[in-house]
């Protein structure tokens, strides 16, 4: 790996530590099949980013959040960015969610 990729991995590690402090819940359903409620079921072309975030907060509050719903919210946040620095920051957050999802899958296998 290059120095640049090491820096990106360090940023993902930092984001991972920050998110675990902020949201200690680390075990959610995947939400990829048969989820009772996921952002995948909503028409993406009509849903604003603000509404998407409000729905995710509701899902978390009602214990209906899934890894897929969190990931899709982060992906849509990244997709709404045009500023390269903010887009990069959002993509680090996307990577963080992916890593946490993988860690959750691994922990279930133990």
Give the C-alpha distances (Å, rounded to integers) separating 104 from 5, 24, 66. Answer: 24, 12, 11
Q: How confident is the model at residue 46 (pLDDT cuts 50, 70, 90)?
A: very low
pLDDT at residue 42, as a whole number:
46
pTM value > 0.75: no
Average pLDDT over residues 53-68: 83
| pLDDT over threshold 80, residue 108 | yes
| pLDDT over threshold 90, residue 9 | no
pLDDT at residue 45, as a whole number:
41
């Amino acid at each position: 790996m290059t120095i640049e990729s090491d820096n990106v991995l360090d940023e993902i590690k930092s984001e991972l530590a920050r998110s675990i402090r902020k949201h200690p819940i680390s075990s959610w359903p995947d939400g990829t099949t048969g989820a009772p409620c996921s952002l995948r079921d909503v028409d993406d072309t009509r849903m604003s980013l603000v509404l998407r975030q409000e729905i995710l907060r509701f899902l978390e509050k009602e214990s209906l959040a899934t890894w897929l719903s969190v990931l899709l919210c982060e992906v849509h946040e990244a997709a709404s960015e045009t500023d390269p620095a903010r887009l990069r920051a959002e993509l680090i957050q996307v990577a963080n969610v992916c890593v946490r999802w993988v860690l959750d899958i691994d922990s279930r296998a133990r």
